[in-house]
Chains A and B, each alone.
Chain A
Amino acid sequence: AQSVTQLDSHVSVSEGTPVLLRCNYSSSYSPSLFWYVQHPNKGLQLLLKYTSAATLVKGINGFEAEFKKSETSFHLTKPSAHMSDAAEYFCVVSPPTNTGFQKLVFGTGTRLLVSP
């Protein structure tokens, strides 16, 4: 069975400082991993995804994540936080499928707070 653990429910940073949002996964197979961001009362927007190509994945808005199989981690980072980064972030696993559709497994979310 696939599972995702987001290690922090809240992360607080100051504007201009680095961001680290932690995610560990459990999977019997090589997983596909995603980070989505959700601003208040909005839908989910894809930040980046890992699909067994390069282990360092670059996404939108300066975010990147590194897939570490030995640590079963997929942490999200950004060198310098911006006020607009304040949002809820979800780490997501997509289990292997031959059905043509996905049953995504969501982490519980990390709320990123950015102070001036």
Chain B
Amino acid sequence: DTEVTQTPKHLVMGMTNKKSLKCEQHMGHRAMYWYKQKAKKPPELMFVYSYEKLSINESVPSRFSPECPNSSLLNLHLHALQPEDSALYLCASSQGGLAGTSTDTQYFGPGTRLTVL
């Protein structure tokens, strides 16, 4: 099974709301990623977790707060977002860990389409 699941599929929120995006994989992968993708653009890396520890934060505003509660789950907490944060948010995972290399395949979830009003 090479599936990465994401919930919800769609989310509409106001600028004062707090919401969370969820991502789950059961492939035993130790690296998990959050990407943001705007229309007609490639994905942009936001965060990387390796062994449940935040390894990369690509200068993402603090209104985005990632969390990795265990090796299978990845959350993205959203608070006080701006309309320009509307995008497709993709989660991905790869083998990672001590065995991880540049040849690993990143498996992507279907994404959450976020609209900020």
Contacts and interface: CB of A to CB of B under 8 A. Distances in A.
A, B bound: yes
Contact of B50 (A95, A101, A109): A101
Nearest to B99: A100
B52 to A, nearest CB: 12
Interface stretch (A38-46, A65-73, A74-82): A38-46
Contact of B45 (A46, A49, A104, A108): A104
Nearest to A88: B40
B103 A49 contact: yes
Interface residues of A, number: 28
Interface in B47-98: 48, 50-51, 55-56, 88, 90, 92, 94, 96-98
- Is chain A's binding surface mostly helix, strand, loop or mixed? loop
A102 interface: yes
A32 interface: yes
A49 B107 CA distance: 13
B55 A99 contact: yes
Interface residues of B, number: 36
B30 interface: yes
Given A43-B111, A44-B108, A45-B108, A108 B102 contact: no
A7 to B, nearest CB: 15
A94 B43 CA distance: 14
Given A43-B90, A107-B42, A109-B40, A100 B30 contact: yes
Interface in A47-98: 49, 51-52, 90, 94-97
A103 B4 CA distance: 19
Nearest to B9: A41
A59 B100 CA distance: 22
Interface of B: 4, 6, 30-31, 33, 40-43, 45, 48, 50-51, 55-56, 88, 90, 92, 94, 96-111, 113
11 contacts: A41-B113, A42-B110, A43-B111, A45-B108, A46-B105, A46-B106, A96-B102, A100-B30, A101-B55, A103-B48, A103-B56
